[in-house]
Amino acid sequence: MKLEGIHHVTCITGDAPGNLDFYVRVLGLRLVKKTVNQDDPTVYHLFYADEKGSAGADLTFFEYPGARPGRAGAGMVHRIAWRVSSDDALDFWAGRLADEDVAADSADGRLRFSDPEGLALELAVAETDDEPLVADHPDIPGELALQGFDGVRAYSLAPDASRMFLDNALGFTAIDPPAEWEARGDRRGSFYGYDPAPPERGVGGAGTVHHVAWASAIDDHEAWRERVAQTGANPTPVIDRFYFRSIYFREPSGVLFEIATLGPGFATDEPLEHLGERLSLPPNFEPLREQVEQTLTPLANPRETWAPH
Ligand code: ZN
C-alpha cells in the first residue's frame, strides 16, 4: 500500500476573481471545478488542475471574501512547487512573470515567486518519469507548461517528531531525514520537506495553505484510515467529498493532512470538456441553486474569451 504523491493542495483566498485570473490566465491552469464549500455554501471552492482534472495537479481554494492576509508558521505548509520540464521552461516563466509584474527569484534550477495574496510558489526542473499533467493555454506552449506538483514545504519546530509517523504510518521514503521526504506510489510521487519555523505564530488567512492531501487508491482508503488511527493520529471518519472520499488528521509537526481517493473524479457531474464552466453543487444544495448563485461573487473565466481549441 503506497500513497501516490500529492492528490491536491487546498489554500485560502480572499479574492476569487483575482485568484482565478492569476492561476488560469497567468499560470495557465484549468479551472476544473467551480463549486461551494460543503460546510458553507455561500463561498466558492475553486479547483485548478491540468486539462483532465488529475490528482497530482489539483490546487484548490476556499474563498472567504475579503479575508485578511494570513502568515505561514509552524505546522503549516508554506510553499508549493510545480514541475517544469527544462531550463528553457524556467526562462519562459521568468519572462512571463516579469511581464505580469510578478517578482521572481531564480536559483539552482528553481524559480520562486508569490501569488497576488502572498502564497509562496516555486517552479522546479524535475527529472522524473511521472506523466506530465498539463493544461492548455493559448500563450503557453505545452512543453513549457506546469506539469503538476513537485512537492510542498512546511514549517516545523521539531521535524524529528514527524519522522516515525511519515516513515511507518504513511510509508514516505526518507530522502534526507528528518527534513526531506518523498511519497511515491506506482504511478506518481511528490516531495515533502520541512524548513525551520519562523518565530512568529502562523495565522490562517488569505494566501495560506489550509491542508495537503495525499492520494490513495480507492480500495486502500479504509486501510489507510485504520493505519493512521493505529498511530494515535486520530483521523476523521471517511467524508464523501463527492469527487473523492477523504480522511483528515494532523501529522506530528502539526500540518493538516488529508488522504483522498483517486476517483471518482471531476467528471462525475459534468462532461470532461466542460469542467468548471457551470457552478457544481452537491445534490443536497441543488434545490437552493438560485439563492446560492446570487450570494456568490461573479467570476469571469479567462477561458471564455479564448478561441476554441
Ligand atoms: Zn482537501
pLDDT digits (tens, 9 = 90+) for 2-58: 999 999 999 999 999 999 999 999 999 999 999 999 888 889 999 999 999 999 999
Residue 202 has pLDDT above 60, yes or no: yes
47 within 8 A of 33, measured Cβ to Cβ: yes
Domain enclosing residue 38, as ranges: 6-305
CB crowding 56-94: b at 16 or more within 10 Å, else e: bbbbbbbbbeebeebbbbbbbbbbbbbbbbeeebbebbb
CA of 213 to the centre of ligand 1 (A): 6
CA of 32 to the centre of ligand 1 (A): 15
Residue 308 has pLDDT above 70, yes or no: no
41: in domain: yes
CA 165 to chain CA centroid, Å, is 22
- Quote the number of domains for the chain: 1
195: in domain: yes
CA of 154 to the centre of ligand 1 (A): 16
Q: What residues does 206 pair with on adjacent strands?
A: 69
pLDDT of residue 162: 97
C-alpha cell at position 112: 520562486
The more confident residue out of 285 and 224 is 224
pLDDT of residue 1: 95
155: in domain: yes
42-56, 81-95, 244-258, 276-290: the lowest-pLDDT one: 276-290
200: in domain: yes
100: in domain: yes
Separation CA 212–CA 246 (nearest Å):
12
CA of 245 to the centre of ligand 1 (A): 9
What residues sit around ligand 1, an ion, with C-beta below 5 angstroms? 10, 213, 258
1: in domain: no
Peptide bond into 178 cis (omega under 30): yes
88: in domain: yes
CATH (domain of 224)? 3.10.180.10
Which helix (H) or strand (E) segment holds residue 11: the answer is strand 6-13
Percent over 70 (pLDDT), the chain: 99
Separation CA 24–CA 136 (nearest Å):
10
pLDDT of residue 307: 66
- Does this model's pTM top 0.75? My answer is yes
146, exposed or middle or buried, with CB in 10 Å at 0-12, 13-18, 19+?
Answer: buried
Average pLDDT of 167-181? Answer: 97
